[in-house]
Structure 1
């Protein structure tokens, strides 16, 4: 591991807005009340990377709490540092493996979940690691409130098609969907938030897929 990554790992451990691994177990069912100190709705970004979406959503919606989840501390470092520097109090980060989400959140604790440009895991042998694989979707459905909303943005057409197939099998109602977000009429101040990777894709004229859905409860 390079010196810069080691520095970020060491620094992120000192950030008050970052919870790492088993430190988060005690917040289960109490993230808004005990971590944020309020009763605002809770929103998650999964595989948040550098946390651009988490931080920008928090700026747009001060009446909600946001948690970015990723396992790589050196990536979380960027979003957490920005939030601290800018005094954004309604955003935090949790460093865990996403498959362990049920260990850290109770049923019906979360109001909304975003998945932005995850690793598409294109090989058939890695299907179980796709973040919209049925085993992941089952977990999201449990932690989401009854009217909880899911969002996916991805540049990978294959992963997007796979996701739509899984939603069809679940009979999950899709509220909005497009295979070319920036040529659609769906773009607003929320969907126009761009991550580091999204900017790279757009620079080479790659289409961006987006779908919003609910689970049937």
Structure 2
């Protein structure tokens, strides 16, 4: 392991805004993010596979009335977002280092207000369908964690993943408010996103790839 990674891992261990295995909050945080981490009652917005945290931090800069959590398994990646948030004194940002498959272990019922899936691995092979973050398996995981009216967003450059997701969503009877576009930057939705881009979004956009976007809600009793 390179020296830089070791330094970053050490800083993650010491950072208040990084929740990971070995820290006291790691086992206590489920259902208690606002009480134990943020010390307020603001709505929680989660970004899955956040990478370096550009999107999570960008959203947090623009909206102090919400709490933002980026999730990724790569400690060297979330170190970047964690460091920026700490430097800018963004108290409404945190990062959780874990596998997304473990999401239920760290969030309680109705604890999440919005969920962002930004440029996930498309997992194009048929045998990898269950690993796609918009597969039925993952949708069933997300559903109880979102509050009433909670929104799920997807942004991707990958047409195959986007079409697959639309097919999956159109088969479900427990959704409402499904909206989508195959060209995000030619749509009305771009104005709502405040120009915040992830590193991968910039790469794909510069190559001329059209960015796809959709959002929806689960029906709640």
| Structure 1 spans left out of the alignment, 5+ residues | none
Contact map agreement 2:149 2:219 (CA 8 A) in 1: no
Q: Secondary structure at the match of 2:91?
A: coil
Q: Which residue of 2 aligns with 1:117?
A: 119
Q: Which residue of 2 aligns with 1:140?
A: 142
Q: Secondary structure at the match of 1:197?
A: helix
Would you say 1:35 and 2:30 are equivalent positions? no
Would you say 1:163 and 2:154 are equivalent positions? no
Q: Which residue of 1 aligns with 2:185?
A: 182
> 2: CA distance between counterparts of 1:52 and 1:73?
15
Q: Which residue of 2 aligns with 1:76?
A: 78
Write the mapping of 1:1-217 to structure 2, written as runs, cut at 5 A. Answer: 1-21=1-21, 23=23, 24-171=26-173, 172-190=175-193, 192-217=195-220
Contact map agreement 2:181 2:187 (CA 8 A) in 1: yes
> 2: CA distance between counterparts of 1:58 and 1:131?
23
TM-superposed deviation, 1:185: 2.2
Contact map agreement 1:173 1:216 (CA 8 A) in 2: yes
> 2: CA distance between counterparts of 1:165 and 1:131?
14
> 2: CA distance between counterparts of 1:128 and 1:10?
34
How far does the alpha carbon of each residue in 1:25-46 deviate from its partner, in whole angstroms, 9 at most, with x for none?
Answer: 3011110111101111111111
Number of matched residues? 217
TM norm structure 2: 0.94
> 2: CA distance between counterparts of 1:158 and 1:203?
20
